Amino acid sequence: MLKEAFYRRMIDANTLRAQFETIYGDVDLVVNVLQNCVKYGEKLKSIAKRKEDEDMANAAIESNTAMLSAIKGEISVAEFKKKMWELEERYPEYFQRGRRDIGTSKDNVKAIIHRIEYMIDRYDVRYPSYDRHRCNDA
């Protein structure tokens, strides 16, 4: 019970940090935080006894893996968007966590897509290669 709560909190904290860092362009940090989120999702999945914990673990693993794949250029932005919308349909409660007062799960998915797309476009990201400066800067 205590481990599950810890892993849920770590998933939430890492997800929030990754969302903030995508705007500032620290791609190495974003990748590291997303990998941590996947790691905590896998740990939660391995000990989950309740369906809610298993769903949260699966959603965290799949959504953060999709973000990593988009950042690394393994999937296109269009494929990433499609994957995120599919995940929102399967796990709306995951995308609603901690956001009940500021919008719906659909609003959160739109924001996630926007931030990842913004980071990839602005910093010309194909991890591990990226330009710390904005595209077309001298």
Q: Which of 49, 55, 51 is nearest to 11 (CA)?
A: 55
pLDDT value of residue 138 = 44
- For the CA atoms of 65, 70, 71, 76, the dihedral, rounded to the nearest 10 degrees, stands at 170
Q: Which two tokens stand for residue 49?
A: 């006894």
Q: State CA 50 to chain mean position distance.
A: 23
Instruction: Please determine, for residue 135, whether its predicted confidence score (pLDDT) is greater than 60.
Output: no
pLDDT tens digit sequence for 73-86? 899 999 999 999 99
Q: What integer pLDDT is reported at residue 129 of this predicted model?
A: 64
Tens of pLDDT, residues 121-133: 876 767 776 655 5
Q: Is the pLDDT of residue 30 over 80?
A: yes
